[in-house]
Amino acid sequence: MQDTEEPEHQLKRSLSALDLTVFGVGVIIGTGIFVLTGTVAKNNAGPAVALAFVAAGVVCGLAAICYAELASTVPVAGSAYTFSFATLGELPAWIIGWDLVLEFALGTAVVAVGWSGYVRSLLDNAGWHLPQALSGTSDTDGFGFDLLAFLLVLLLTGVLVLGMKLSARVTSVVVAIKLAVVLLVIIAGAFFIKSENYKPFIPPATGSTKASGLDSPLIQVLFGYAPTSFGVQGIFTAAAVVFFAFIGFDIVATAAEETKNPQRDMPRGILGSLFICTALYVAVSVVVTGMQKYTELSVDAPLADAFKATGHPWFAGVISFGAAVGLTTVCMILLLGQTRVFFAMSRDGLIPRFFSRVHPQFRTPYRSTILLGVLIAVIAGFTSISELAALVNIGTLFAFVLVAVGVIILRRTRPDLPRSFRTPWVPVLPILSVAASLWLMLNLPSETWLRFGIWMVIGVVVYFLYGRSHSRMNRANKGA
């Protein structure tokens, strides 16, 4: 916390509780609500997808309560990285920081590519067509570059360099449009609900299969079998998938150092944004599965196609526009979280301190923002990485586990710290958070665990080759 007072490394405090809530809603409502609803309803849970959103929301809620205590007690940029440093030590902090770098980078790139797809669809409807070579695809196996995704990330990088308050204002406008579209779906769609579409609300399980290598969920590898879809187990499998729709509330914690009154506003921003989005998700899933039989829902654009199926294509166009606009804020706030974690790691010396200098006028970490923005723009332009999206899920859940453990440890090691927000029922609630997060992690594909493990091994090697010897903490200990 003392590091935040150093002039050349000091960020500007300009955000309020409302700004934080808007950031949270802005990043949470995105791909999940516009796409995943149809996928999990059709393949895993049927109309009970609403219960899957509730289950995923409960897991996030348990973690959010732990985040709220640490973010208000240790209001420093970096979120789970900083909390782990303060409670578990440098090596665990490096591991989670390395994990978050991957999570936010892939998340930003994946969302940028998704945004590009929506915009290209809207342009095609208007009669404007980008060359295939500049759309991320090509008629041959030759050059393919997603120009729109590349330009979006560069534009958002510039907005973040110019200041957090500008970022908050841009986000507020876009979130207002996105919320209007979501409410349109709920209110207008409610008039087209047919009760027979809810029967059965929890479709019977289709049986079980033996595990078959890396294509099976890890829980099948561990226990040998699991229901393939539907039934009660199908709800939990769906929850592991729709968890992607909730990713983002933890990014609110990365802005703690730029909040005017973090002790009061951090808990409000984190918990408020999560509660609003959970309520909207449940309402949308109830409406959409009531409008159209779950077996007939579209996988690519369930909300828009449900309105087409009821004979209202105009609504479908509005929803597509709202999805494209909404993904803009998701991309920007994921990039914001990435740069703040990188900034915190740089300030601690685990990566070159060059990147922790802030702009003399805008008071933003412009060096790390520009570096990461350009790298992610290139990734989004050249790479189709939708199959790696599950890595974002496992990275986030891993962060949830460490934050929950951190709450228990900090209560024991520093009971004297002033806490404006206290997690109730410690250690029971943090332990429940750990168990719930681990359960969802087990429901992810085994190949996701393999990729995650490889990335973690690379991170440990980097730490021992560079981070450990350049760490401010280790240098201070040697000096002492």
Pair of tokens at residue 372 = 């990461």
Rg (the chain; Cα; Å): 22
- How does DSSP assign 390-430, residue by residue? HHHHHHHHHHHHHHHHHHHHHHHH-TTS--SS--SSTTHHH
Indicate the range of 91-100, 138-147, 166-175, 437-446 predicted with least confidence: 138-147
Pair of tokens at residue 272 = 């408020």
Distance CA 72, CA 261 (A): 9
pLDDT at 244: 73
pTM to 2 decimals?
0.79
Sorting pLDDT into bands at 50, 70 and 90, what band is 31?
A: low
Q: Are 190 and 307 in contact (CB under 8 A)?
A: no
Indicate the range of 30-34, 251-255, 267-271, 464-468 predicted with least confidence: 30-34
Indicate the range of 139-143, 165-169, 312-316 predicted with least confidence: 139-143
Q: What is the rounded end-to-end Cα distance, in angstroms, of the chain? A: 20
- How does DSSP assign 357-394, residue by residue? PPPTTT-S-HHHHHHHHHHHHHHHHH---GGGHHHHHH
Whether residue 445 is preceded by a cis peptide bond, meaning omega within 30 degrees of 0, is no
Pair of tokens at residue 280 = 């909207």
Distance CA 62, CA 209 (A): 32
**Could you read off the pLDDT of 213-259 as tens digits, one per residue?**
334 444 454 444 444 578 888 888 788 778 877 877 777 777 777 78
Q: What is the DSSP letter of 135?
A: B
